[in-house]
Amino acid sequence: MSESENRYSARALILTAIISIIGTVLALEASGRIDHSDNKDNVPVGDFQAIHLKPGEEFRMSRKSSELHAVCEDGFLAIAADVDPSFRGILVDYKNRGVRCSRPSPTAMDLATKPSAEGNNEQ
């Protein structure tokens, strides 16, 4: 190799790339172009899947814990982080409907649909 081809070493090029990346991030931060939101509302806690299991079918699951736990919050299933239990999110389906913690009894009637016994006797 000639002397003109070997002006910069690989170490110098890598160091220049790292410094330019750090400088770019600092410049974007100083100009306010990087947005750091402290608002935890409407932030997804995670992405979940429901897997249908048929009787007798085996399912392989990771042995590692997910670092999340489920809590029943006002009748709906909430997912909370183990490291920050105050950070909870209600589990919703694809139509943004809350997932209940327990199945409602089929024999229990809604107060709105329950006929009033007093209303039938008064005429």
Question: Counting every residue, how long is the chain?
Answer: 123
Using CA atoms, how far apart are residues 56 and 61, in angstroms rounded to an integer? 16
DSSP 17-65: HHHHHHHHHHHHHHTT-S------TT------------TT------SS-
Q: Over the stretch 71-97, which tens digit does the pLDDT of each residue have?
A: 888 889 988 888 886 778 888 888 888
Q: Looking at residue 96, what is its pLDDT?
A: 85
- Is the pTM value of this prediction over 0.75? no
Q: Looking at residue 1, what is its pLDDT?
A: 52
Q: What are phi and psi of 19, to 5 degrees?
A: -65, -40
Using CA atoms, how far apart are residues 47 and 79, in angstroms rounded to an integer? 11
Q: Over the stretch 13-49, which tens digit does the pLDDT of each residue have?
A: 999 999 999 999 999 999 988 887 777 666 666 677 7
CB 46 within 8 A of CB 68: yes
